[in-house]
């Protein structure tokens, strides 16, 4: 969308977060995501799990496409420090016309990389910081460590800040999280398997792994950290983003206010996009 200049010198921009499930390692799925960007025309977007390490043959073309469409880009492998074998990357894009004199860059959140995108109000020069994240999917302790690293970076509560992406975390009071927490003892009894490239575990282990990870995401402690730090969810209804669960979020704090959350739309199977429109005040 075109950033809208309002009468009070605020600028309305749209931010999008998409968990694209290695789409930029597959030509057909990559085109699906590019079509969504073409249709929705976000001012900034975060693509979590954008590509799979070792399958980056499309990456340069994808980045070039974003550049041709007027976006500045930043990308990085997560570079996890836990020795995991399934290695993925993240991409952030922001329209050149709302860039500051800063440039998008990679930030380290303790044990995993994320991306930073500066968003400028061209009328006032005020900058809003956008952090694109994908928190760990296997450990609440690691999610908490990455969250604490991020919150240690955004220490000024009055500085306009947006955090968008795959949090892999539910709110503690969410009814779906309460049910999932109740099922956790059962989930922990199932056999599991760590994700590995080009290895498909037996069905029962896949189900067990999904159940174990999902019930752990229901702990509520990660999202409580953000609540305590005065971040607000752009979607007060906490619509589902992955199956029935609310795992992808766009949060904000400071002088920026959400002016509208868009309906979550199916991207791949049970994965939905998350979009919000913000006022960047002068």
The C-alpha angle 196, 199, 201, rounded to 5 degrees, equals: 95
The predicted pLDDT at position 260 comes to 85
252-267 pLDDT, tens digit per residue, is: 998 777 778 888 999 9
The predicted pLDDT at position 200 comes to 79
The predicted pLDDT at position 107 comes to 98
203-249 pLDDT, tens digit per residue, is: 888 888 888 999 999 999 999 999 999 999 999 999 999 999 999 99
The predicted pLDDT at position 203 comes to 82
112-165 pLDDT, tens digit per residue, is: 999 999 998 877 778 899 999 999 999 999 999 999 999 999 999 999 999 999
Q: Tell me phi and psi for residue 88, to 5 degrees.
A: -130, 175
The predicted pLDDT at position 109 comes to 97
9-52 pLDDT, tens digit per residue, is: 567 899 999 999 999 999 999 999 999 999 999 999 999 999 99
The predicted pLDDT at position 4 comes to 59
CATH fold of 4-170+221-280, please?
A: Deoxyribonuclease I; Chain A (3.60.10)
Q: What are the domain boundaries of the chain?
A: 4-170+221-280, 173-218
Distance of alpha carbon 11 from alpha carbon 180, whole angstroms = 40
Query: Looking at the predicted structure, is the pLDDT value of residue 56 above 90?
Result: yes
The predicted pLDDT at position 282 comes to 56
The predicted pLDDT at position 33 comes to 97
The predicted pLDDT at position 267 comes to 93
Tell me the whole-structure pTM to 2 decimals.
0.93
Q: Choose among 263, 265, 255, 262: nearest CA to 232.
A: 255
Confidence of residue 281 (pLDDT cuts 50, 70, 90): low
Distance of alpha carbon 188 from alpha carbon 207, whole angstroms = 11
Distance of alpha carbon 137 from alpha carbon 215, whole angstroms = 11
Where is pLDDT greater, at 55 or 102?
55
Q: Alpha carbon of 22 to those of 66, 174, 177, 201, 261: distances in Å? A: 17, 28, 26, 19, 25
Residues sharing a CB contact under 8 Å with residue 225, sequence separation 6 or more, in sequence order: 144, 147, 148, 151
64-122 pLDDT, tens digit per residue, is: 999 999 999 999 999 999 888 889 999 999 999 888 788 999 999 999 999 999 998 87
Confidence of residue 8 (pLDDT cuts 50, 70, 90): low
The predicted pLDDT at position 264 comes to 92
């Amino acid at each position: 969308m075109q950033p809208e200049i309002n009468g009070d010198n605020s600028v309305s921009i749209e931010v999008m977060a998409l968990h694209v499930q290695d789409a930029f390692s597959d030509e057909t799925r990559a085109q699906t995501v590019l079509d969504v960007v073409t249709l929705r025309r976000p001012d900034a977007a975060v693509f979590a799990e954008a590509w799979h390490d070792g399958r980056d043959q499309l990456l340069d073309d994808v980045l070039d496409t974003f550049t041709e469409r007027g976006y500045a880009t930043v990308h990085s492998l997560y570079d996890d420090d836990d020795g995991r074998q399934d290695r993925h990357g993240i991409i952030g894009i922001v329209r050149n016309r709302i860039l500051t004199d800063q440039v998008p860059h990679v930030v380290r959140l303790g044990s995993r990389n994320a991306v930073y995108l500066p968003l400028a109000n061209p009328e006032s020069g005020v900058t809003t910081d956008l952090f694109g994240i994908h928190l760990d999917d296997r450990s609440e302790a690691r999610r908490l460590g990455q969250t604490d690293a991020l919150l240690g970076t955004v220490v000024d509560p009055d500085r306009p800040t947006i955090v968008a992406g795959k949090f892999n975390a539910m709110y503690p009071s969410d009814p779906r999280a309460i049910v999932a927490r109740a099922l956790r003892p059962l989930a922990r009894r199932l056999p599991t398997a760590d994700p590995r490239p080009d290895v498909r575990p037996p069905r029962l282990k896949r189900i067990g792994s999904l159940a174990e990870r999902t019930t752990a995401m229901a702990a509520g402690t990660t999202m409580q950290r953000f609540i305590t730090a005065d971040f607000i969810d752009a979607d007060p209804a906490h619509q589902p983003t992955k199956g029935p669960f609310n795992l992808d979020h766009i949060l904000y704090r400071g002088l920026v206010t959400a002016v509208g959350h868009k309906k979550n739309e199916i991207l791949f199977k049970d994965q939905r996009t998350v979009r919000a429109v913000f006022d960047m005040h002068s």
